[in-house]
A and B are shown apart, each in its own frame.
Chain A
Amino acid sequence: MRFAIHLDCPPDIAWDVVGAPERLPEWWLGIDSCVVEGNTRTIMTRSGLPMPELLLTIDGNLRRFQYRIDVPMFAEHLSTIDVHDLHDGTCLVVYSVDAEPAVLALVIGGAARAALNHLPEFLGVTEIP
């Protein structure tokens, strides 16, 4: 699944938030807390489910963040957040997720979409339709 949002702000504004692994609970609704240790991040969902993740890519030049949820329920998982500079003072934030079982991509992707939709309010910027 893939979702995107066009924001009326320079890419660094968005990247400072979505590229910082410890800031996830600030903008992702339904994540109460997270602990980052080295290349792992353990999130706690609002339902009380701990979910350890491997942080694969945090590339500030490319503005790419990738992580893999590391629980047995997922046979495979890869989520990628890209912040694209549109060179007009705006940016495009793209979240994509692949998972096996595929059902889980729907669950993660649905939540990611809600998180992206929350970004304008959180950042204090406007979404460009």
Chain B
Amino acid sequence: MGRKILFVTTDQQRFDTLACNGGILSRTPVIDGLAADGVRYERAHPQSVVCMPSRSTIVTGQHPTTHGVFMNGVPLPGDAPSVVEVLRLAGYRTALVGKAHFEPYFDPFLRFEENALSAEGTTPHGGHRRGFEHLETAAHGAMGPLHYSQWLIKNHPEALGMYYRTVDDNLQVNSEGGGDTGAPQVKVNPIERGIYHTDWVADRAIAWLDSIDADEDWFCWMSFPDPHHPWDPPESEVGRVDWREVPLPAGYPEDRAAREAIIDAKPRHWRAWYDGTLVSNYEAPADWVPATLTTDQVREVNARNAVEVELIDEALGRVLARVAERGWGEDVDVVFTTDHGELQGDFGLLFKGPYHVDALMRLPLVWRPAPSSRVNGGAAPAVVTRPVGLVDLAPTFCTIAGIEPPEWMQGKPLPVDDGDAETRGFDKVLTEWDSELFGVDVHLRTMMRDRWVVTAYLPGTSHDGTEGELYDLIDDPLQQINRWDDPDMRPLRDDLVADLWDSQPEARAERLVLEAPV
């Protein structure tokens, strides 16, 4: 009997939403406890700041350039390499419960198995999909063909209309406002907490774990759809955080002129989106103008986000309690992270897009190794400050399972402390963005190394390829001072940019195709 793996992801969660990372709004004692007993990473970056490419990186252990899912709406091929398949072939029982999103959601023809499966059960055709023997899916509400929606239709049809409608009549991301402040994607949701998707995901994960024999090894990816917008947690829980008491985020300069001056020093698509003159991607409401965002709306969004984070923490606690009841407590590795961040008011913006700053790139990541592994010289509690990426998760899972990571994985098993990180060369992490939607294309390549984040732009609709961003994370932790054009920085910039291009991963031979908006 080996180590079991509980892999917990959220969707679109910032680093600073966890108490163990300095967050002040949410109470997250379960995750904090895992961090205290395990390894907490201070510089974990995604390789893409949107869902499908980032999740594809998690499951393949490859950068987007290599696995080919360059933006949302590009499906990950069914035969793409998968760490889950590696684990399954090694004898692990495998499941994904919650948000998958390796394939597009907009699918009226049910061409994609993730969407079609809910009508047939939870066992994919052929016995597994990407190595998952069990797939039980959910997304951000009651829409779509996923298992959670079907479960609601069957058992709680009264709840279908309670959720926020994530897309509008034009199938654009909905900009409708609600709550007390009219903030976009906020809604009062009267749904009973016990049937909200966060608790449903935990319930279904527990049900799957209960189906596993005590002596089997297993990998369970429990994938919460929250705290991704819409911000519509059960209304019974909203009182946990009074938005009126929420301080404005450090990254949100309250003075409008100051806010806009910061944006104006960045490449022009920042200001164009802020003013509502350029929509470069599908991930934010196309007809919402960020310049209209009010301070109270920022507070309310942050408050509701914090409530959703607390619900996740409590749901995780329930699952861990069940794991302990099954007698597995000493043998389970728990990895907690998310796929990307959320602007959440920084720079006067919400949602996400081609904006490579900490709001979207700095992620919560905690690895609590199985306590039994310590007896054999496993990791002791530590904080890792050197850069790591989600690309490193797949080889980490292999290592936990006692499997040599396959050559197609591009990351390295996560370091257990800074000394380990230094020895094994964790000195940089890459992130990329490519979007081509309705005649607007944007292409960014980013590297975090030492104390610097550098982003080089490739030619696109708004850029001629000479633009860039350069931030000093020590002196400017909020990335408000773009030093790309600072003459004093030129030698450093040139060195970083050269390293950035030298470090680019191998590109997939055949380019994949955009098949849906998301």
Q: What is the interface of chain A, defined by CB distance below 8 A to chain B?
A: 28-31, 45-47, 49, 51, 73, 101-104, 106-107, 109-111, 113-114
Contact = CB atoms under 8 A, between A and B. Distances in A.
A110 to B, nearest CB: 3
28 contacts: A28-B109, A30-B107, A30-B108, A30-B111, A45-B108, A46-B111, A47-B110, A49-B108, A51-B108, A73-B169, A101-B171, A103-B106, A103-B172, A103-B282, A103-B517, A106-B73, A106-B106, A106-B514, A106-B516, A107-B107, A107-B171, A107-B516, A109-B515, A110-B73, A110-B104, A111-B109, A111-B515, A114-B515
- Interchain residue pairs A-B with the least CB separation, the first 4: A30-B109, A110-B515, A46-B110, A101-B170
A113 B109 CA distance: 13
A46 B116 contact: yes
Most buried by B among A29, A31, A106, A113: A106
B172 to A, nearest CB: 6
Residue picked from B73, B104, B513, most chain A C-beta under 10 Å: B513
Given A31-B109, A110-B104, A113-B515, 16 more contacts: A28-B109, A29-B109, A29-B111, A30-B107, A30-B110, A46-B109, A46-B110, A46-B111, A47-B110, A47-B145, A49-B108, A103-B171, A103-B282, A107-B107, A110-B73, A110-B514
B513 A113 contact: yes
Interface in B134-157: 145
Which size class do B's interface residues fall under?
Answer: 20 to 34
Interface in B472-518: 513-517
Nearest to B173: A103
Interface string B108-121: 11110001100000
A113 B515 CA distance: 8
Contacts of A114: 111, 515
Contacts, number: 65
Contacts of B514: 106, 110
Interface string B170-203: 1110000000000000000000000000000000
Contacts of B282: 103
Contacts of A31: 109
Nearest to A117: B513
Contacts of A103: 106, 170-172, 282, 517
Contact of B438 (A73, A102, A109): A102
Given A47-B145, A102-B438, A114-B515, A107 B108 contact: yes
A106 B513 contact: no
A102 B513 CA distance: 17
B107 A47 contact: yes
A114 B112 CA distance: 11
Nearest to A111: B109
A106 B515 contact: yes
B92 to A, nearest CB: 32
Contacts of A106: 73, 106, 514-517
A16 B206 CA distance: 53
Most chain B CB inside 10 Å of its own CB: which residue of A73, A101, A110, A111: A110
A30 B170 CA distance: 22
